[in-house]
């Protein structure tokens, strides 16, 4: 009952005396409660970190884009003018973002990983990027419980067996959602154990390390890694991507997420095609694109009244 009293005392006696940042992880059951922890006038903590994005995923691993839009838009409404929030999709406690929110099939892995990077680095808040996501690392999908190390996965397996549940169904759910998917060794290169260690890693290395690794992507200007670098550079270059107001466009669209960011006279349009099919998206009449795309995960796009979006295409435009 005295949580906020304790945090205010901690801020007064400790936090305020140092140049540091504090994060309120999982604080509050909704945006309004979370704001109590990070409202600057309350002198408690600096940034909130919520888990609502993961809750849109269904048991089969699918989700509705409109649900994901609603999560981030509802939080943004609360934090539009005060407080500060994190923007994240993955962590050490979750499976890989490209396998959950993107499409890790070979033909779509790279464009969808780049789209998710574009999303994280063009939203209002501090982006959290988990190791391996800059490469588009995927779920390993281990098929044998003996290969899992996560205690939750192992305990769940024993529970399923004791209740005469379906072990095959449980293993399939682990392939989608187990935290071990997001904890496999970083894929540095194509040498043994992906260059992560000369010893035997605690978890298996994902077999796709021979093609998905830092060394290969570093040399490829079109790679997920180099798109990640371009997105970071653009965010550093344009304060509007950090501080600009977020406005959702075409909220009911089931495949395309479009929004603007506005700071003073600077305004950007971000359009993300969250699907494996080409989509046409009509630019609203009151928005006029200025010049070529500032960021694009495909070689080109025609910046006219209707955008012909390729599967998992993500573009950032400046607006007049």
8 CB contacts (<8 Å, ≥6 apart)? 42, 43, 44
Q: Is the pLDDT of residue 302 over 90?
A: no
Q: Cα torsion for 173, 212, 193, 232, to the nearest 10°?
A: -90
231 CB contacts (<8 Å, ≥6 apart)? 117, 118, 121, 122, 295
> Mean pLDDT over residues 174-193, rounded?
98
210 CB contacts (<8 Å, ≥6 apart)? 190
pLDDT in tens, 118-148: 999 999 999 999 999 999 999 999 999 999 9
pLDDT in tens, 196-205: 999 999 999 9
Task: Specify the CATH superfamily of domain 244-319.
Answer: Golgi alpha-mannosidase II (2.60.40.1180)
Query: What pLDDT is recorded for position 234?
Result: 98
User: What's the fold here for domain 3-146+175-235?
Assistant: TIM Barrel (3.20.20)
> Mean pLDDT over residues 165-185, rounded?
98
pLDDT in tens, 77-120: 999 999 999 999 999 999 999 999 999 999 999 999 999 999 99
pTM of the model: 0.96
Query: What pLDDT is recorded for position 167?
Result: 97
Query: What pLDDT is recorded for position 1?
Result: 84
Query: What pLDDT is recorded for position 27?
Result: 82
What is the percentage of the chain residues whose pLDDT exceeds 70? 100
> Between helices 31-38 and 3-13, what is the axis angle to 10°?
30
Q: Pairing state of beta strands 314-319 and 289-296? A: antiparallel
> Mean pLDDT over residues 207-236, rounded?
98
**φ/ψ of residue 176, rounded to 5:** -85, -45
Q: Using CA atoms, how far apart are residues 125 and 49, in angstroms rounded to an integer?
A: 10
Nearest to 243 by CA among 94, 63, 123: 123
Q: Pairing state of beta strands 23-25 and 47-49? A: parallel
**Domain chopping of the chain, boundaries:** 3-146+175-235, 244-319
pLDDT in tens, 21-40: 999 998 888 999 999 999 99
- Mean pLDDT in the chain? 97
22 CB contacts (<8 Å, ≥6 apart)? 15, 45, 46, 47
For residue 170, give the H/E element and its range.
helix 167-177
What is the percentage of the chain residues whose pLDDT exceeds 90? 97
> Mean pLDDT over residues 244-271, rounded?
98
**Which one-letter DSSP state was computed for residue 121?**
T
């Amino acid at each position: 009952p005295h949580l906020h009293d304790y945090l205010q005392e901690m801020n007064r006696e400790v936090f305020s005396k140092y140049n540091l940042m504090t994060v309120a992880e999982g604080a509050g059951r909704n945006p309004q409660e979370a704001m109590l922890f990070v409202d600057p006038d309350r002198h408690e903590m600096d940034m909130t970190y919520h888990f609502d994005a993961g809750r849109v995923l269904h048991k089969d691993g699918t989700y509705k884009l409109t649900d994901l839009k609603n999560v981030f838009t509802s939080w943004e409404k609360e934090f539009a003018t005060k407080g500060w929030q994190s923007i994240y999709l993955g962590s050490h406690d979750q499976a890989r973002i490209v396998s959950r929110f993107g499409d890790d099939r070979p033909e779509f892995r790279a464009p969808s990983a780049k789209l998710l990077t574009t999303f994280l680095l063009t939203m209002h808040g501090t982006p959290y990027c988990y190791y391996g996501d800059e490469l588009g690392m995927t779920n390993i999908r281990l098929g044998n419980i003996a290969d899992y190390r996560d205690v939750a996965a192992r305990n769940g397996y024993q529970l399923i067996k004791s209740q005469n549940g379906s072990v095959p169904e449980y293993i399939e759910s682990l392939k989608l959602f187990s935290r071990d998917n997001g904890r496999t060794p970083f894929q540095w290169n194509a040498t043994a154990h992906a260059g992560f260690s000369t010893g035997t890693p605690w978890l298996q290395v994902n077999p796709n390390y021979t093609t998905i690794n830092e060394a290969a992507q570093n040399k490829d200007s079109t790679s997920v890694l180099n798109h990640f670098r371009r997105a970071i550079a653009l965010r550093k270059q344009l304060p509007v991507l950090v501080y600009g107001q977020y406005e959702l466009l075409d909220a009911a669209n089931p495949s395309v997420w479009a929004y603007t960011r506005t700071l003073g006279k600077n305004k950007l349009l971000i359009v993300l095609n969250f699907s494996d099919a080409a989509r046409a998206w009509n630019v609203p009449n009151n928005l006029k694109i200025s010049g070529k795309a500032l960021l694009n995960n495909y070689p080109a796009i025609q910046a006219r009244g209707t955008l012909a979006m390729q599967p998992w295409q993500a573009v950032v435009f400046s607006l007049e």
